């Protein structure tokens, strides 16, 4: 299951797609992929062209 996570780093807020899974030991883990950031002036998301 994937969800979009916001993370603030310095003055910018970045958007990540987080995918949860269980590793070979059965422990929960997640992978994050950067998909864009939030425009500070307008508050609108700016996605990467690949996404």
Tens-digit pLDDT profile for the chain (51 aa)? 689 999 999 999 999 999 999 999 999 999 999 999 999 999 999 999 987
**pLDDT computed for residue 29 by the predictor:** 95
Going by the DSSP 8-state scheme, the letter that residue 26 receives in this structure is S
Sequence-distant (≥ 6) Cβ neighbours of residue 13 within 8 angstroms: 6, 7, 37, 38, 40
Whole-model pTM: value is 0.81
**Beta bridge partner(s), residue 7:** 14
Q: Are 13 and 34 in contact (CB under 8 A)?
A: no
Whole-angstrom distance, CA of residue 8 vs CA of residue 17: 14
């Amino acid at each position: 299951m994937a969800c979009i996570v916001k993370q603030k780093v310095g003055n910018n807020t970045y958007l990540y797609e987080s995918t949860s899974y269980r590793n070979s030991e059965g422990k929960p883990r997640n992978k994050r992929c950067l998909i864009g950031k939030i425009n500070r002036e307008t508050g609108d998301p700016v996605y990467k062209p690949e996404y």
